[in-house]
Amino acid sequence: MNYKNFPMVPRVVFGRGSFNQINDILAPKRTSIYAPFIFLLDNVFKNNPWLTSRIKLSYDDRIIFVSSKEEPKTSQVDELVEDIILKSKERPSGIIGIGGGSLLDMAKAVALLITNEGDAQQYQGWDLIKNPGIYHVGIPTISGTGAEVSRTTILTGPKLKLGINSDYTPFDQVILDPELTAGVPKQQWFYTGMDCYVHCVESLNGTYLNEFSKTYGEKSFDLCKEIFLDDNLSEEEAQNKLMMASWHGGMSIAYSQVGVAHAMSYGLSFLLGVKHGIGNCLVFDHLEEFYPEGVKIFKQMKEKHGIELPTGICKDLSDDDFDTMIRVALSLEPLWENAVGKNWKQTITPEKLRGIYKKI
């Protein structure tokens, strides 16, 4: 039996206001005055001096604003990499992703593609990356995705929605500043928080589970229940706890795997561009068969926060559309194996997935 030698983020700062330390953290990592730091910021921070004024740009450093309206694409990564290489006198000193899961994944992918030749889509899969990426830093501004600790970067390519999973993917540095999550709109807060909750349910109910993943998953699960079901937390406490829930949830799946909701949500995203957080919720809502207890609690959380999921998303889709979603979902073999076991192909048929998609 062969156990994964799991790469952990080697440096982490946690604390309200810790984002103020960004310049001090980066300074010793500058390789030359011609080697800029490239900050990838979510568009929502344009004209937000509360955040941007704290980033000190020196020499050729620059901020690139990136939209996270759509899920990150391999083509977007390729364009960014080309732009960065063309406009930088030397290989950059580092890439800093500031935003939600999309921005974090984009930063990881860009850092890898600067040192690995070719297009991003070539590396979608497991352990295809050959060279370490350049120094990359993740600073989440919304909690739940686990992208801050994971060894993947989920991208939508021409053929698949699939991660670049590799030991070189995790960030070299993460800054966890719960203050940065203060302005997140309620719906997005809920959907992204549920990404974390679903990670826990899928990890804790998976066949890949071991005691390492279990302890992280259980803690994250308990935090999610506290945050989304209890009424005892101040806003600040809830922000702090959700940031840690995301971290532990990410650690839990990092050593195990996600499951049915993620596999099917990827299909939904690939075809319709549905964002990952809400996509998970749309699918998870119909997964009582796989996760009875988890789905029951999810419905309580939805109700408590007055969240109504959109319906009829799949009602006008053609047979070809369903086939595309099913193809993408079934391509994620490790997720199914984790969820259902080695013989998953006996029960997870295209017809079964079509039945679930039709309810959405």
Residue (37 or 284) nearer to its own copies, CB = 37
* CA–CA distance, 6 with 4 (Å, rounded to integer): 5
Look up residue 198 and give its two tokens.
Answer: 């679903």
The residue written with tokens 């929502």 in the block is: 44
Tell me how far, at minimum, the Cβ of 209 lies from its own copies, in Å. Answer: 11
Tell me how far, at minimum, the Cβ of 222 lies from its own copies, in Å. Answer: 8
If you ran DSSP here, which 8-state letter would residue 118 be given? S
Strand ordering across the sheet containing 62-66: 62-66, 37-42, 94-99, 136-140, 173-176
Tell me how far, at minimum, the Cβ of 21 lies from its own copies, in Å. Answer: 7
DSSP-derived secondary structure for 185-237: -HHHHHHHHHHHHHHHHHHHTSTT--HHHHHHHHHHHHHHHHHHH-S---HHH
Which residues are bridge partners to 175 per DSSP? 13
Tell me how far, at minimum, the Cβ of 6 lies from its own copies, in Å. Answer: 5
Q: Is 211 helix (H, G, I), strand (E, B) or coil?
A: helix
- Among 230, 181, 170, 224, which Cα is nearest to 200's? 224
Residues in touch with its own copies (CB under 8 A): 1-15, 17-18, 21, 25, 173, 176, 178, 210-212, 214-216, 218-219, 223, 237, 240-241, 243-245, 248, 255
* CA–CA distance, 351 with 202 (Å, rounded to integer): 22
Residue 82: is it exposed, middle or buried by C-beta count within 10 angstroms (0-12/13-18/19+)?
exposed
Q: Which residues contact 315 (CB under 8 A, 6 or more apart)?
A: none
- Among 200, 353, 139, 166, which Cα is nearest to 266's? 353
Tell me how far, at minimum, the Cβ of 358 lies from its own copies, in Å. Answer: 40
Tell me how far, at minimum, the Cβ of 178 lies from its own copies, in Å. Answer: 8
Residue (214 or 302) nearer to its own copies, CB = 214
Residue (210 or 300) nearer to its own copies, CB = 210
Tell me how far, at minimum, the Cβ of 136 lies from its own copies, in Å. Answer: 14
Residue (199 or 248) nearer to its own copies, CB = 248
Q: Which residues contact 268 (CB under 8 A, 6 or more apart)?
A: 274, 279, 282, 283, 313, 325, 357, 360
Residue (51 or 209) nearer to its own copies, CB = 209
Residue (171 or 191) nearer to its own copies, CB = 171
Residue (144 or 279) nearer to its own copies, CB = 144
Please report which residue ranges of 64-146 form alpha helices under DSSP H. 74-87, 101-113
Tell me how far, at minimum, the Cβ of 260 lies from its own copies, in Å. Answer: 25
Residue (17 or 341) nearer to its own copies, CB = 17
Buried b / exposed e over 293-327, threshold 16 CB at 10 Å, is ebbebbeebbeeeeeeeeeebbeebeeeebebbbb
Look up residue 153 and give its two tokens.
Answer: 């970067």
Tell me how far, at minimum, the Cβ of 196 lies from its own copies, in Å. Answer: 13
- Among 192, 206, 139, 136, which Cα is nearest to 164's? 136
Residue (243 or 295) nearer to its own copies, CB = 243
